[in-house]
Amino acid sequence: MPRVLRAIAPYDGWKGGGQVSTSVVYNPSKFELPEDQLKLIKWPIYFGFTLFVVGAIMGLEQALDHAGIRLIPYMPGINSYYQGLTLHGVINALVLTTAFANGFMSLTTARGLSRPLNKPLLQLAWWLLVVGVLLAAFAMFTGNANVLFTFYPPLEAHWTFYVGLALVVISTWVTSANQLITLSAWRKEHPGERIPLLAFTSIATYVMWDFASVGIAIEVVFLLIPWSFGLLAGADPLLSRTLFWFTGHPIVYYWLLPVYVSWYTLIPKQVGGALFSDRFTRVAFVMFILLIPVGFHHQYVDPGITQGFKFTSTVMTFGIFFPSLMTAFAVMYALEIGGRRAGGNGLIGWFFKIPWGDPSVCAQVLAMIVFLLGGLSGLMNASYDMNLIVHNTAFIPGHFHLTVGTAVVLSYMGICYWMVPYFEKRKLWSRKLALVQSVLWFVGVLIMSRGLMMGGLLGMPRRTDLALAPYAANLPEWHIAGILTGIGGAILFTSAVCFFIELGMTIFAGEPEATREDIPFTATVQAPESSGWEPNLDRLRYWVVTGVVLTVLVYGPVLLAHMPPTFVAGLQP
């Protein structure tokens, strides 16, 4: 082998065997949650995917609209493009993600600590989610909340929309409280022990979110709800946008981190590999808690925020890029160990030896590959000058269908391919259909995002009913972009249909199994240390306090300079 290749492939031939030491769960031999708790974990996940049927239909409508085909007139109950887009964004980005995370992170916390959760809190989180979603859905379906998923004032929605979303956020806090109460009980019985990694990563995800969600909570409770009840004279658009984006950037990590939990702690086992380092993983999760205040990168063009703070946000956004780069390294290494153990050799031979025939692996590794592109486009968005070109263009949906739309959602689907059989004690209905579904999603999103990004660079706006825009016809260079978007979107929709069939058939017609196979958790090569600096990684409250200090430094001056709020009258779209 040439010298340079030898240098970058030092582990050629190393199978990672022998040294794998510590499991990521407290009791690796056996633990199963009681059936009544498992039900309260699976319902939110099924509920999220049921609503996703509507979200996916609205997605098809959006994508075809870019190609000049309008489905709105054929959709009963949907009166405008904005109503469809609101349903699409709220259901897919806010409801499916929350519902999935509440269920999945409860399961992984319980398995990590190998003890049951608090049942009344599980019930409370479930009912808050259901009531909240029904209220918001009422507002959206009746056309009283055509405000898109960012609900920027002065666009105004019916109070049921804001109250509904508030209840959904409270359900996430209840889920977090449940995790923390369970952790505290575990710690009492195991003083001085390190938190098992599966539980640590799951709890850190929600602790990050508890802190990040404060912005949107203040916006909704103190500004939007009183305004929608007529108690406030108007809304303050800049203050609302600033509070919204304080949460709106880290919310993307609230969507992503449950997937990172799977990529770090489950996928290595599923590919027959191992996670390299426990400490490295914890550092990555802690970084997400520290670097919360970067939301200004969504407001580069907003007036009222000085260049200095926008620049600070740019620098910190490049900082928050690092834990994802770390993840790319760690996960790729876990895949490599698995591929080499399976006989793969050379620089990339291992990649073809990972178990591609396992739909759960196939979906998630394809999601990772797409995320490489999603992450790159994020860096483009974050770069001030480039942002001025792509902001509010179709490039942005191009970016986020690669990230939340695929890295996250295709991974959720991959996780379902072991988790639904686990819940139901049934075999996956059809491996083949699940594999076809994953590949279709991968191909579909690459085509669709290519179209959106190309259009965006040519000035095609986002959030616009392009099929009705008279100027679009005079811009032939947009045509190919719109057609790619439409074709990609139609492939994604076909993939979603395959997923719904797979899910439904597995639940109702999958071959029953006598026992429940445990969830696929990995072991780590470098175990956690119980002395030295490392145990400090588990002291989440220190990291939260440091994050809060940083937040006050970045957001404090901007919010103070803006006071008192300036209220303007609302617009009902």
Binding stretches for Cu ion (CB under 5 A): 249
- Catalytic (active site) residue 431: no
DSSP at 220: I
Interface with ligand HAS in residues 497-556 (CB under 6 A): none
Interface with ligand HAS in residues 282-341 (CB under 6 A): 297-298, 317, 320-321, 324-325, 327-328, 331-332
Q: Applying CB under 6 A, does 369 fall inside the site for ligand HAS?
A: yes
Neighbours of 46 (CB within 10 A): 17
Phi-psi domain of 398 (left: phi exceeds 0; alpha: psi -120 through 50; beta: other): alpha
Q: What element of type H or E holds 42?
A: helix 35-66
The whole-angstrom separation of Cα 336 and Cα 8 is 13
User: Which one, of 395, 393, 392, 412, lies nearest residue 404 by Cα?
Assistant: 412
**Residue showing the smallest CB distance to Cu ion in the complex:** 249
464's tokens: 């616009």
Binding mask 131-150 vs ligand HAS (x if CB under 6 A, - otherwise)? Answer: -------------------x
Tell me whether strands 275-277 and 523-526 are parallel, antiparallel or unpaired. parallel
The whole-angstrom separation of Cα 275 and Cα 528 is 12
Q: How far is the CB of 169 from ligand HAS (least distance, A)?
A: 17
* Complex with Cu ion: residue 178 or 403, whichever CB lies closer: 403
Q: How far is the CB of 410 from ligand HAS (least distance, A)?
A: 12
Strand partners, 526: 277
Instruction: Quickly tell me which residue has 């510590």 as its tokens.
Output: 22
What's the full length of the chain, in residues? 573
Q: How far is the CB of 292 from Cu ion (least distance, A)?
A: 11
- Catalytic (active site) residue 401: yes
Catalytic residue among 158, 297, 341, 401: 401
Q: Which of 186, 206, 255, 478: binder of ligand HAS (CB under 6 A)?
A: 255
Neighbours of 323 (CB within 10 A): 21
Q: Is there a cis peptide before residue 323, judged by omega within 30 degrees of 0?
A: no
The whole-angstrom separation of Cα 450 and Cα 462 is 14
- Catalytic (active site) residue 158: no
| Inter-residue contact 53 to 500 (CB < 8 Å) | yes
Residue 91 binds which entry of Cu ion, ligand HAS, none, with Cβ cut-offs from 5 to 8 Å by kind? none
- Catalytic (active site) residue 516: no
- Catalytic (active site) residue 253: yes
- Catalytic (active site) residue 194: no
* Complex with ligand HAS: residue 405 or 528, whichever CB lies closer: 405
Q: How far is the CB of 156 from ligand HAS (least distance, A)?
A: 19
- Catalytic (active site) residue 555: no
Binding site for ligand HAS (CB under 6 A): 150, 252, 255-256, 297-298, 317, 320-321, 324-325, 327-328, 331-332, 351, 368-369, 371-372, 375, 378-379, 381-382, 387, 391, 396, 399-400, 403-404, 408
> Which residues are marked as active site?
249, 253, 399-401, 462-463
